[in-house]
């Protein structure tokens, strides 16, 4: 280190020196996050008040974008689709996560192998796994339709689950559950392993059966982790783009609607920015409500 | 420990449950592998085990050998037609040509290289910045540290779509997106910043587990803080750093949203997710190619994940996750 700098440092107490170094070391991260996350969010809000042009100047339009967005039935349709998608995908993910975590908490042969196999859905790229699911639901070649129509005979005619906008959301939900249950399972399992074994012994002495033990011991112990899990998954699934868009373009959740509005046809970045802001406000509203009511913070 | 009554029926039920879980997790991968190895005429056959193995899609993607007319791909009825009926040579060639790949060859190796370079550099930048930031969080005392730390966590809450429009507008505004190099740099910066919060968080958690006494000894010996980071903290954390690097790499490798908007005018710098999507929506969308491209895209991240699985799972359970 340069002598001049050392001389300047000498006048500071060790505590001040440490604080100064602390800020120096974290400064690059703060500058990057500030410049590339915080600033863009603020800029996004600013853009929502303009008719944005990529080449020339933006024209200030006040609340016109906002009014246009909320008076468009497609927006409300997207809100509704998002609510359905988020509700069922989160519920499914948590339920599957609980079942898998309970199973993996018991000893069985090759458990180490199974535990790593079930993480693969979470790790593999979305773009690579969507095609296998599309093939599975494919009306001509897919196993799903084959089993329903040819093997079980429950349905008379072959049908296109992904191609039909009314049913495509089911595929998106199934895919989301498959993709994200490993995350839920990991969080729940780590909590399960911390549950005091004596609680179960006491419940057993009281004559509880397996269900009663789950209901009165396991579930209360999991309450907080499930609450946090639901919160995280709602936030993430609400903002999710790739996991929906890549498996089917028939499900217009908010992020897809925003993307299509902003970047296809005549680019409308101003209206896109408005949609992103509204989406964020809706999410924040939910978070505040949830944290107060469910997590009781 | 309570002695549990063993009920054979229940044990069987439990094993069935495990089997269902494994099938549910693995099925899409099996489907992917199976279809990637099937001949087109076998796609309608629901069996997951291909009757005949067709590796031509892999060969084509990896650029091994030249595409040739594939006799096995021709349905028997058409083959009979070719052999028996008195078609002119020209007509025969036309029919055959339908079963030869006429589309331009999907430049898989190039997209693969683009993805490796982009993800590799973005993860490196992210981890380098995060090492110092995380050290500051976990080891140094100063006012405002808590706010900075919580601020970083808050960043998890913002979805990509909220950042996409302003970042795109800024990138266009400063002219980055008008050249391939500029576009590449823009995306690199986006990927670095996307993985930075999670890198900071995971590394910070790890550094807290290193006993301070080791560092203290070095400080007493006259090393300054930066030297202890270089000589003590980094060598003691190579495993954790590698894990965070791989996790950041995977996030960038899998990213589609920003790539689709930033790279759209430069096909030569497409990443794998964008390339696969383009292949799927093109008229050359053939299941065996798509599935083998999917396999080849998944394998690197799965291998990397397996290498650091133990540590990464610990980190994920502790909340170090980015989505």
Q: Average pLDDT, whole number, for chain A?
A: 89
In angstroms, rounded to a whole number, what is the distance separating the alpha carbons of residues A35 and B193?
Answer: 10
Q: Residues B149, B152, B154, B157: is their CA dihedral positive or negative? A: negative
> In this structure, how many other beta carbons lie within 10 angstroms of the beta carbon of residue B100?
13
In this structure, are B183 and B50 located in the same domain?
Answer: no
**DSSP summary character for residue B323:** -
Count helices and strands (H / E) in chain A: 16, 2
Nearest to A93 by CA among A169, A172, A177, A171: A177
pLDDT band at A27 (very low <50, low <70, confident <90, very high): very high
Q: pLDDT by residue (tens digit) across A222-244? A: 998 999 899 999 999 999 999 99
With CB atoms and an 8 Å threshold, state whether A125 touches B301.
yes
Judge contact between A30 and B148, C-beta under 8 A: yes
Residue holding tokens 């959301």? A169
CB of B188 within 8 Å of a chain A CB? The answer is no
Q: Assign B68 to helix, strand or coil.
A: coil
| DSSP classification of residue A152 | S
Q: In terms of domains, do A22 and A114 share one?
A: no
Decide if B35 touches A, using CB distance below 8 A: yes
CA–CA dist B142, B140 (Å, integer): 6
**Rounded Cα–Cα distance for residues B195 and B63 (Å):** 33
At A208, is the pLDDT very low, low, confident or very high (cuts 50, 70, 90)?
A: confident
Same domain, B117 and B148: yes
A29 vs B132: CB contact, 8 Å cut-off?
Answer: yes
The confidence score (pLDDT) of residue B2 equals 47
Same domain, A91 and A193: yes
Lowest mean per-residue pLDDT among A19-33, A113-127, A193-207: A193-207
Can you give the pLDDT at residue B99?
62
**How large is the average pLDDT for residues A63-75?**
91
B 201-260 → A contacts, CB under 8 A: 224-225, 250, 253-254, 256-257
Look at residue A64 and tell me if it is in a domain: no
Cβ pair B146, A254 in contact under 8 A: no
User: B164 and B288: one domain?
Assistant: yes
Q: Based on the domain organization, do A192 and A280 belong to the same domain?
A: yes
**Cα atoms in the 13 Å half-sphere on the side-chain side of A34:** 7
pLDDT at B186 over 60: yes
Predicted confidence (pLDDT) at residue B176 exceeds the cutoff of 60: yes
Helix B108-139, helix B287-317: angle, nearest 10: 10
Cα atoms found within 13 Å of the Cα of residue A75, Cβ hemisphere only: 17
CA distance B134 to B152: 11
Q: Is B322 contained in some domain?
A: no
Q: Is A200 a member of any domain?
A: yes
In a shared domain, residues A195 and A272: yes
Q: What's the pLDDT tens digit per position in B236-267?
A: 999 899 999 999 999 999 999 999 999 988 98
Residues above pLDDT 90, as percent of chain A: 54
Cβ contacts (< 8 Å) between A19 and chain B: which residues? 140-143
- B60 inside domain: no
Confirm whether B59 is domain-assigned.
no
DSSP designation for B233? I
Q: Are A183 and B316 in contact (CB under 8 A)?
A: yes
Q: What are phi and psi of A109, to 5 degrees?
A: -60, 140
Helices (H) then strands (E): counts for chain B: 15, 0
Structural domain count, chain A:
2
CATH number at A206 reads: 1.10.3720.10
**Cβ–Cβ contact B187 with A under 8 A:** no
Can you give the CATH number for the domain in which B283 is found? Answer: 1.10.3720.10
Residue B104 has pLDDT above 50, yes or no: yes
A108 vs B contacts (CB less than 8 Å): 14-15, 18
Which pair of structure tokens corresponds to residue A283? 């999410």
A123, A228, A243: best to mutate for the B interface, most B CBs within 10 A: A123
The answer to whether the Cβ–Cβ distance between A143 and B140 falls below 8 Å is: no
Residue B286 structure tokens: 């053939």
State residue B1's pLDDT score: 44
Q: Does B16 touch chain A (CB under 8 A)?
A: no
**What is the reported pLDDT for B190?**
94
By residue range, what is the domain housing residue A14?
A: 3-47
Ramachandran sector of residue A50 (left: φ over 0; alpha: ψ -120 to 50; beta: rest): beta
B118 and B85 together in one domain: no
> Residue A269: inside a domain, yes or no?
yes
Confidence of residue B68 (pLDDT cuts 50, 70, 90): low
Whether residues A43 and A77 share a domain: the answer is no
Please report the pLDDT score of residue B102 as a whole number. Answer: 47
Instruction: Please give the Cα distance from A95 to A177 (Å, whole number).
Output: 9
Take residue A63 and report the two structure tokens written for it. Answer: 């609340």
A211 and A123 co-located in one domain: yes
A219 and A144, same structural domain? yes
Q: Is B210 within a domain?
A: yes
**ipTM higher than the 0.95 cut:** no
What 3-state DSSP class applies to A24? helix
A55 occurs within a structural domain: no
Tell me, yes or no, whether B41 and B1 share the same domain. Answer: yes
Q: What's the rounded Cα separation, in Å, for the pair B236 and A108?
A: 35
The answer to whether residues B15 and B146 belong to one domain is: no
Which residues of A fall within a CB distance of 8 Å from B322?
A: none
Q: Do A39 and A78 belong to one domain?
A: no
Q: How far is A174 from chain B (nearest CA, A)?
A: 11
Residue B133 CB: number of other CB atoms within 10 A?
Answer: 29
Domain count, chain B: 3
Q: What domain range is B113 assigned to? A: 108-317
Interchain CB contact of B294 with A (< 8 Å): yes
pLDDT digits (tens, 9 = 90+) for B39-66: 888 887 778 888 888 888 888 888 776 5
pLDDT band at A14 (very low <50, low <70, confident <90, very high): confident
E-state strands within B138-216? none
Residues B312 and B291 occupy one common structural domain: yes
- For B317, residues 6+ apart whose C-beta sits below 8 A from its C-beta are A186, A187, A189, A190
Classify residue B85: in a domain, yes or no: yes
Cα distance between residue B137 and residue A25, in whole Å: 9
Give the torsion sign (CA, A49, A290, A180, B190): positive
pLDDT of residue A227: 92
Cα–Cα distances in Å, from B209 out to A190, B206, B213, B214? 19, 5, 11, 12
A235 and A165 inside one domain: yes
Does any domain span residue A67? no
CA distance A247 to B252: 19
Residues B257 and A239: their CA atoms lie apart, in Å, by 12
Of residues B2 and B319, more confidence is placed in B319
User: Are both A131 and A38 inside the same structural domain?
Assistant: no
Is A85 among the domain residues? yes
Task: State the DSSP code for A51.
Answer: E
B148 plus B115 within the same structural domain: yes
pLDDT of A284 strictly over 80: yes
Strands (E), chain B: none
List CB contacts (< 8 A) between A141 and chain B.
Answer: 43-44, 287
């Amino acid at each position: 280190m340069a002598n001049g700098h050392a001389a300047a440092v000498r006048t500071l107490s060790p505590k001040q020196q440490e604080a100064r170094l602390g800020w120096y070391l974290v400064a690059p991260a703060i500058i990057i996050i500030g410049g590339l996350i915080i600033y863009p969010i603020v800029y996004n809000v600013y853009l929502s008040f303009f008719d944005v042009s990529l080449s020339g100047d933006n024209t200030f339009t006040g609340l016109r974008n906002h009014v246009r967005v909320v008076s468009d039935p497609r927006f409300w349709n997207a809100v509704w689709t998002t609510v359905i998608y988020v509700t069922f995908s989160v519920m499914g993910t948590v339920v599957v996560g609980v079942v898998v975590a309970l199973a993996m908490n018991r000893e069985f042969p090759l458990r180490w192998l199974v535990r790593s196999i079930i993480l693969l859905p979470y790790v593999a790229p979305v773009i690579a796994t969507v095609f296998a699911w599309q093939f599975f639901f494919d009306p001509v070649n897919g196993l799903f339709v084959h089993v329903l129509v040819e093997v079980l005979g429950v349905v008379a005619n072959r049908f296109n689950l992904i191609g039909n906008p009314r049913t495509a959301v089911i595929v998106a939900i199934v895919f989301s559950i498959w993709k994200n249950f490993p995350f839920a399972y990991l969080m729940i399992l780590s909590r399960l392993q911390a549950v005091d074994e004596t609680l179960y012994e006491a419940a057993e002495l009281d004559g509880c059966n397996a269900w009663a033990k789950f209901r009165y011991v396991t579930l209360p112990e999991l309450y907080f982790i499930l609450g946090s899990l639901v919160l995280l998954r709602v936030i993430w699934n609400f903002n999710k783009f790739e996991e929906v868009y890549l498996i089917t373009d028939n499900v217009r959740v908010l992020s897809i609607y925003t993307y299509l509005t902003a970047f296809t046809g005549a680019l409308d970045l101003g209206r896109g920015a408005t949609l992103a802001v509204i989406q964020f406000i809706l999410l924040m509203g939910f978070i505040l409500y949830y944290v107060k009511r469910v997590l009781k913070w | 420990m309570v002695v549990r009554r063993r009920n054979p029926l229940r044990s069987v039920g439990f094993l069935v449950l495990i089997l269902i879980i494994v099938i549910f997790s693995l099925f899409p991968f099996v489907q992917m592998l199976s279809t990637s190895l099937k001949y087109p005429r076998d796609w309608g056959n629901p069996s997951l085990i291909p009757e005949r193995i067709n590796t031509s899609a892999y060969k084509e993607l990896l650029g091994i050998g030249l595409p040739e007319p594939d006799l096995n791909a021709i349905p028997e009825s058409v083959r009979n037609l070719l052999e028996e009926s008195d078609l002119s040579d020209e007509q025969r060639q036309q029919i055959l040509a339908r079963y030869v790949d006429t589309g331009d060859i999907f430049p898989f190796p190039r997209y693969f290289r683009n993805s490796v370079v982009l993800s590799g550099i973005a993860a490196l930048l992210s981890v380098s910045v995060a090492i110092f930031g995380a050290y500051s969080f976990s080891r140094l005392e100063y006012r405002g540290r808590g706010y900075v730390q919580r601020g970083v966590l808050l960043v998890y809450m913002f979805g990509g779509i909220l950042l996409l429009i302003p970042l795109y507008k800024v990138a266009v505004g400063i002219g980055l997106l008008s050249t391939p190099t500029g576009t590449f740099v823009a995306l690199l910066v986006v990927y670095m910043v996307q993985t930075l919060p999670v890198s900071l968080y995971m590394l910070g958690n790890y550094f807290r587990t290193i006993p301070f006494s080791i560092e203290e000894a070095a400080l007493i010996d006259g090393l300054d803080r930066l030297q202890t980071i270089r000589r003590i903290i980094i060598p003691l954390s190579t495993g954790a750093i590698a894990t965070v690097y791989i996790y950041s790499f995977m996030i960038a490798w899998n990213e589609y949203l920003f790539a689709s908007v930033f790279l759209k005018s430069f096909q030569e710098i497409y990443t794998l997710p964008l390339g696969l999507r383009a292949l799927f929506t093109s008229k050359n969308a053939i299941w065996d190619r798509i599935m083998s491209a999917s396999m080849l895209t998944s394998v690197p991240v799965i291998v990397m994940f397996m290498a650091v699985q133990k540590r990464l799972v610990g980190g994920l359970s502790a909340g170090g996750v980015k989505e």
